[in-house]
Amino acid sequence: MNIAIIGSGYVGLVTGACLVKLGNKVICVDNDAKKITALKKGILPIYEPGLEELIKDNLKRKRLYFSSSIKEAVKASEIIFIAVGTPDSGSGEADLTGVEKVASEIAVNLKEYRLIVEKSTVPVETGAWLKKTVTTYIKGKVDFDIVSNPEFLREGSAISDFMHPDRIVIGVESKRAKDIMVKLYKPLNAPVVVTNIKSAELIKHASNAFLATKISFINAVSRICDIAGADIGEVSSGMGLDKRIGRSFLEAGLGYGGSCFPKDLDAFISIAGKLGYGFRLLEEVKKVNESQMSFLIAKIKDALWIIKDKNIGVLGLSFKSDTDDIRHSPAIYLIKSLQKEGAFIKAYDPRAMEKAKVVLSDVKFCRNPYAAVSGCDCLLIATGWDEFKKLDFVKIKKLLKRPLIVDGRNIYDPEKMGKLGFSYISIGRKGA
Ligand code: UGA
């Protein structure tokens, strides 16, 4: 099929590249002309494993195109995905300005039947607004359908998540729309859940909110483990083996960050409130998440006594491993908090340093993990990159001014760290 993706951000680029892989011809659009010029040369604004190769390859094969023109994309494509950003408006509510603008521009250019698919994460009832907007701006009598097709991919494993989804959710109002969407995703051979548009929209918000709740739940339990002397790793394994609970998203740590959970939780609380339901459970999930980071700062203070003038080496800046995304990254929050207390920060991240340089000041960015810990009073693990799991700890111990490791991601074995002579502090586990 011929497909247009409006919005060449994370979701748009991955969706576009993967739909090409499924045998379609895709045109990706963005209103950022610089971004489009770079993308045409195969230069990506983000790091996502495997994405650059996929895009470069399909640019060469002439199956993937980039453009700044919605008009051109609408003309060439039977399915038009809207994948523009829906940022926090400042009050917690999702800002749908981008979605509305794109919808009206699609409408103006509609000449024959098109499927308009809402891919961006949006609050329930957005589909109804999209329909109204398109109907208002459309010129003449042209048929169209609105579809809600939320995306569940994770940064860092986006291509594999897209190609092997647990389920595909399609919210539709007509059989015609359903048939086209089912045909599009047929090659994935995944379970397809067909619902009405509002349910599909809610599935997305409810899924992200549930996963965030799981993380806050296990983080809250980790606090009890700390006090009681239990081990959060053992507790979450013991819980996760129960199929009704499941093992994933039970890793205690610095709390969730990224461009999705914090924003989507706010937006879900906001739309629920507007509809007349005060989602207090999710308010508490947010509070637990926020307190997890201050809890780690308190642990660092406990170990160092005075933070002022201490050198702290931070490993990891992205909000999680395998991405260069620093949006709502716990690492950035921690660094800023420690700087406020007067600490000097040296940092290293395999991918996120360029982006971190834009939001951080007075940080010494280092070429490798060893340079970042050299001469420091404390090594702080803020992101669980694989690279950090394989460090030479004999060397690290020699380089540190004092052998203190504070691990916000629980990536090391406390016993091993103790044997190596470190004072080792992690989350919800006995220290060494
Ligand atoms: C999340 C969802 O997992 C995707 O399904 C969804 O499509 C996406 O949001 C979105 O709405 O676009 P993402 O934000 O890329 O994906 O990353 P996750 O792997 O979900 O991690 C989110 C945060 O939770 C990270 O800060 C991570 O470190 C943290 N986390 C995750 C934990 O603290 N513990 C865990 O057990 C799992």
**Planar angle of CA 128, 261, 302, nearest 5 degrees:** 160
376 as an active site residue: the answer is: no
Query: Any idea which residue has 């296990």 for tokens?
Result: 218
Taking only the tens place, the pLDDT of each residue in 39-91 is: 999 999 999 999 999 999 999 999 999 999 999 999 999 999 999 999 999 99
At 267-326, the pLDDT tens digits run: 999 999 999 999 999 999 999 999 999 999 999 999 999 999 999 999 999 999 999 999
Q: Which atom of ligand 1 lies at the shortest distance from residue 320's CA? A: 28
Q: Which residue has the tokens 């090391």?
A: 412
User: Rounded to the nearest whole angstrom, what is the distance from the C-alpha of residue 35 to the centroid of ligand 1?
Assistant: 26
- Given a cut of 90, whether residue 431 has pLDDT beyond it is no
Per-residue pLDDT, 430? 86
CA of 154 to the centre of ligand 1 (A): 6
Domain locations along the chain: 2-195, 285-425
Distance of CA 418 from the midpoint of ligand 1 (Å)? 31
Q: What is the CATH number of domain 2-195?
A: 3.40.50.720
- Residue 312: what are its φ and ψ, rounded to 5°? -120, 125
Minimum CA distance residue for ligand 1 atom 16: 154
* Cβ of residue 226 lying under 6 Å from some atom of ligand 1: no
Provide the mean pLDDT of the chain. 96
- Closest ligand 1 atom, residue 154 Cα: 15
What is the 3 state secondary structure string of 28-81? EECCCHHHHHHHHCCCCCCCCCCHHHHHHHHHHCCCEEEECCHHHHHHHCCEEE
Q: Which residues contact 306 (CB under 8 A, 6 or more apart)?
A: none
Task: Write out the DSSP string of 221-272.
Answer: HHHHHHHHT--HHHHHHHHHTSTTT-STT---SS---SSSHHHHHHHHHHHH
Position 219 confidence tier, pLDDT thresholds 50, 70, 90: very high
Mean per-residue pLDDT, 174-182 = 98
| Nearest alpha carbon, ligand 1 atom 27 | 256
Topology adopted by domain 285-425: Rossmann fold (3.40.50)
- Is residue 423 very low, low, confident or very high in pLDDT (cuts 50, 70, 90)? very high
Q: What is the pTM of this model?
A: 0.96
Q: What is the pLDDT of residues 94-127, one digit of tens each?
A: 999 999 999 999 999 999 999 999 999 999 999 9
Assign 432 a pLDDT band (cuts: 50, 70, 90): confident
Where does residue 397 rank: exposed (0-12), middle (13-18), buried (19+ CB within 10 A)?
middle
Q: How confident is the model at residue 389 (pLDDT cuts 50, 70, 90)?
A: very high
The pLDDT-based confidence of 246 (bands split at 50, 70, 90) is very high
- Give the pLDDT mean for 396-400: 98
- Decide whether 2-195 matches 285-425 in CATH topology: yes
> From the CA of 95, how far away is ligand 1's center (Å)?
21
Q: How far is the CA of 259 from the centre of ligand 1 (A)?
A: 9
Q: Is the CB of 319 under 6 A from ligand 1?
A: yes
The mean per-residue pLDDT over the stretch 349-359 comes to 97
Smallest CA separation from ligand 1 atom 5, residue: 152
Q: Which atom of ligand 1 is nearest to the CA of 11?
A: 12
Helix (H, G, I), strand (E, B) or coil at 357: helix
Structure-block tokens of residue 367? 């070429």
Q: Percent of the chain having pLDDT more than 90?
A: 99
> CB of 251 closer than 6 A to ligand 1?
yes
The C-alpha R_g of the chain, in whole angstroms, comes to: 23
Selected catalytic residue, list 18, 28, 225, 260 = 260
